[in-house]
A and B are shown apart, each in its own frame.
Chain A
Amino acid sequence: MTMWVDFIIVAVLLLDLMMLSSSRIRNCIQIAAVQGTLVGLMPLFVESHPGALSPVVASFFSIFLKGVVFPWLLFRALREANIRKEVEPIGGYPLSLLMGVVMFAMGFWLSKRLLYPDPFVPALGAPVSFATFFTGVFLIISRMKAITQVIGYLILENGIYLFGAVFLGGQSLLVELAILLDIFAAVFVMGITIFHINREFDHIDTQKLSELKDIITSK
């Protein structure tokens, strides 16, 4: 069992790196979906109440949302907004990839600092979930399109979810579902906003959303 957990966790990490190095928005959405599915599987493996129904339900809903609904929403936004298919990162792909490694090292260092009282938690859980979290933040900062920022948000949520699944196997089901519902609503609203942005501006390059700022040069 632990070996499977380890493999899932490392796969999540590799998907982070793939995400950082892939140049097509379509691929990015697929990677986020696969990662979401893997992360959604975690409650089945890390389990504190044997035989309970709640991990299965939680797992089902998170896989359904992260693996099916979110990609569908994003693909729809991609299609309707008729977006150019390139990701266009700041700093280029190799740099992003190296940043991914740096972020993993950071996550590793951080998890060394915070010793967990329970020895039964997979040792890789914390570093990889931190790394995924940082990757999400990095994607949001370094990718300019609204849709890639949403993908970054999803990755970030995956990291948090992984952390929750690894460390808190037995959270209350209702709370977990409420959190998932919130994230779903967030992605949904963001999807609608992307649609509006595309309609208003004819692009979704958030770097060009710069009308609102403080230093206004004389007009």
Chain B
Amino acid sequence: MLTVLLITVPLLLGLVSFFIRDDFKRRVLIVVCSSAHLVLTGLVWGNGDGVNPGAWFAFDHTGVVFLAITSLLFFGASFYGIEYLSGENHHEDNKDEKRRLFSREAVFSGCFLLFLSTMTFVVASQHLAVLWVGIEATTLASAPLIYFHRTKRSLEATWKYLLICSVGIAVALLGVFFLAVADHHREEMLLGQMIASARDINVPWLKAAFLLLFVGYGTKMGLAPFHTWLPDAHSEAPSVVSALLSGALLNCAFLGILRGYQICIAAGLQSYCQEIFIVFGLVSMAFAAVFILGQTDYKRMLAYSSVEHMGMIIFGIGVGESAVFGALVNMLGHSLTKAGLFFVAGNILSYFGTKRIADIQGILTGKMRWSGALWMTGFLLITGTPPSGIFLGKFIILKETLFQGRNGLAVVFLATLGVIFIGMARIFIMMTLGGTAPQGNQDNFYNRNTFLRIWVPALFFVLVITLGVYFPYWLKSALGEVAHELGGG
């Protein structure tokens, strides 16, 4: 019942908000909806939703954790969105245009809630084909969000996102069919049943199926070398959307891979998958390192940082044992930190009106000092400086790698992290130093509406730091269960 509500409430409210003409009402609706979603998520976390083994939708441990991350991010984004949207729209003089049916913001709000609904659909799916349907739906729901600014550049980004992700996900569909062939005694591809009888699965087909799923969902997850859409979409989307793409959507695609991985584990193919994970994890990190070094656009830099973190997470899963737990901690930390960073990037973009790093100076001064401080904090957190939760994740992964005696991997892992740290530090320092921020005209709308735009990312950062300092027992046991489901210790 809770599951159904979780999916349908945002769906219905999203459809409704397409038809609301008043900006303010719509923004309230988003906040109400995401709050309700968070409450329902809390209930699911607390009680569970009576898992019925034949059901298409249910929350296992993995699903709940992914749901919680998604819900939390949407909750933050909806509050941040209030001021962000009014900031984006305030200079639109034409009142008629604003109050028109299906105005730009109405489409945004509707798709925003549909995006939430489809992501919930994904994390709740226990049926692999239904999961596929959900992941494709997230692409379609988020494409209009990326095109929010209605510029040529955002259009280009939208097209690349749509096409590359759709093709990638089509590959995953072939993978789903392969999986059905591998397990051809079954009519319904329910995860629990497939895991239970995985011993009878045809191994060559399962291997091929896993590869296809990996490439397909990996495209959407932003693993190099299939990541090409990611920097474009993340940099051109409105910052609030970038935060969700990076923090929640990539995780959803990741979940698609993990579902396949769960079946492979049960069929005794764990080491086969792990090798793939490790290779693509390191390749993604290396790609990200190279592109961060020479980056000129700070939102693209954040996007590449997401590629890096996805690589790191998948590397952790690949190493196995306790590194799986580390990867999950890293994922949690990354989602919160990266969402916070994109929110702050949105503030910087609103104030300076440019994404070019070279045009920005002295963000720790003047009107920008609070956002600037958050920006620097975010940098330290995302690069895994203690006491960041990400530090904890990275550290566990590294420890497990060394513990298994894979010193070569550990060296490459550390080296790429070092390069990325240097690359990002250069960019953040360039943005901080060098004189003072221009005062701008006092009329700048952004100056007057910064309360939520500062506090939402601040809250996320506080959560990440808390994670590094004090790791609550209930969270540890929940992540432990997930790690167990994913073949870790």
Contact = CB atoms under 8 A, between A and B. Distances in A.
A2 interface: no
A82 interface: no
Interface in A158-212: 159-160, 163-164, 167-168, 170-172, 175, 178-179, 181-183, 185-186, 189-190, 193, 196-197, 200-201, 206, 209, 211-212
Contact of A193 (B129, B137, B159, B296): B159
Given A153-B167, A211-B156, A214-B291, A175 B129 contact: yes
Nearest to A178: B133
A189 B132 contact: no
A39 interface: no
A212 B204 contact: no
Residue of B130, B147, B155, B188 most packed against chain A (CB within 10 A): B155
A52 interface: no
B236 A196 contact: no
A117 B180 CA distance: 12
A92 B247 CA distance: 43
Interface stretch (B34-42, B78-86, B170-178, B265-273): B170-178
Contacts of A181: 133
Given A149-B163, A200-B155, A186 B232 contact: no
B163 A160 contact: no
Contacts of B184: 117-118, 167-168
Contact of B202 (A113, A117, A164, A178): A117
Interface in B175-227: 177, 180-181, 184, 187-188, 202, 204-205, 208
A167 B291 CA distance: 43
B140 interface: yes
A137 B132 CA distance: 19
A175 B125 CA distance: 12
Contacts of A113: 204
A196 to B, nearest CB: 6
B166 A167 contact: no
A114 B205 contact: yes
B230 to A, nearest CB: 11
Nearest to B129: A175
B162 interface: yes
Interface residues of A, number: 45
B448 interface: no
B137 A189 contact: no
Nearest to B137: A182
Given A153-B166, A214-B291, A167 B180 contact: yes
Nearest to B231: A214
A16 interface: no
A216 B184 CA distance: 51
A193 B143 contact: yes
A1 interface: no
A183 B167 CA distance: 11
A136 B167 CA distance: 9
B127 interface: yes
Given A182-B133, A186-B166, A211-B153, A146 B159 contact: yes
A188 B17 CA distance: 21
A212 B153 contact: yes
Contacts of A133: 174
B300 interface: yes
Contacts of A65: none
B236 A212 contact: yes
B204 A211 contact: no
A18 B184 CA distance: 34
Given A116-B181, A117-B184, A172-B188, A153 B163 contact: yes
Contacts of B152: 200-201, 211
Contacts of A156: 167, 170
A163 B177 contact: yes
B136 A186 contact: yes
A140 interface: yes
Contacts of B167: 137, 140, 153, 156
B294 interface: yes
Contacts of B143: 189, 193
A183 B136 CA distance: 8
Contacts of B137: 182, 185
A189 B144 CA distance: 9
A185 B129 contact: no
A172 B187 contact: yes
Given A179-B129, A186-B140, A206 B174 contact: no
Nearest to B208: A114
A212 B232 contact: yes
A130 to B, nearest CB: 9
B295 interface: yes
B456 to A, nearest CB: 28
A53 interface: no
Contacts of B297: 216
A69 to B, nearest CB: 16
B177 A168 contact: yes
A115 B162 contact: no
A137 B140 CA distance: 20
Contacts of B235: 212
Given A163-B174, A190-B162, A168 B181 contact: yes
A156 B144 CA distance: 24
Interface of B: 127, 129-130, 132-133, 136-137, 139-140, 143-144, 147, 152-153, 155-160, 162-163, 166-167, 170, 173-174, 177, 180-181, 184, 187-188, 202, 204-205, 208, 231-232, 235-236, 291, 294-297, 300
Given A163-B177, A214-B300, 7 more contacts: A157-B170, A167-B181, A167-B184, A189-B140, A190-B166, A212-B235, A212-B236
Instruction: For the complex of A and B, list the 9 residue pairs with the smallest distance between their C-beta atoms, beginning with the closest.
Output: A212-B232, A182-B136, A209-B156, A178-B133, A175-B129, A164-B177, A185-B140, A167-B181, A160-B174
30 contacts: A115-B204, A117-B202, A118-B184, A146-B159, A149-B163, A157-B170, A160-B170, A160-B173, A160-B174, A164-B177, A168-B180, A171-B129, A172-B129, A172-B187, A175-B127, A175-B130, A175-B133, A181-B133, A182-B133, A186-B166, A190-B163, A190-B166, A193-B162, A197-B159, A200-B152, A201-B152, A211-B156, A212-B153, A212-B232, A214-B295
